[in-house]
Amino acid sequence: MTGSYTVERVADAAGLEEAWALRFAVFCDEQGVPRAEEIDALDTDPSTSHVLVRAVDGTVVGTGRLLVDDTPGDVHIGRVAVAARARGTRVGALVMDTLEQWALAENAATAPTGSRVVVRLSAQTQAEGFYRRCGYEVEGPVYLDAGIDHRDGVKVLTA
């Protein structure tokens, strides 16, 4: 439990459905991403981890996923979504902190340096400030993903 929120790793199909429901609400209903583009094969890949943040009433108010890249020590955070009612309450930072902790704990040992993990993400340009506050260097050209402007971000974590 963190403050008035609980954090959990998705462990079953029901949890994954809850993550998808929030992502559909944020990305599809609010931002117009086609539903067919929101879910992909990486969601159910055994190496993917999903986080759920719940309010005290049990409602899922935050989610995100952690992908292990092909390069040892490299990971990718994506599909970070926060319910409208929980924005501005640090739920997004809690999602990011949790995914980063998992990334470091589970991937530093396989990294070539043995103690650092490179986290990459694709940031919606309207959320660049959030990712910068989380310590990400957001740079490079703007590109479209699901019809929304994005830029790449990176952060190096050390054990």
C-alpha triplet 104, 5, 56: angle, nearest 5°:
155
Residue 81 CB coordination number (10 Å):
25
Q: DSSP character for 78?
A: E
Residue 147: per-residue pLDDT: 87
- Tokens at residue 80, please? 């970070």
Residue 2: per-residue pLDDT: 56
- Tokens at residue 88, please? 């501005």
Residue 3: per-residue pLDDT: 65
Q: Within 13 Å, how many C-alpha atoms sit on residue 72's CB side?
A: 8
- The tens-digit pLDDT sequence of the chain (159 residues) is 456 999 999 999 999 999 999 999 999 999 999 999 999 999 999 999 999 999 999 999 999 999 998 888 899 999 999 999 999 999 999 999 999 999 999 887 776 766 789 999 999 999 999 999 999 999 999 999 888 999 999 999 987
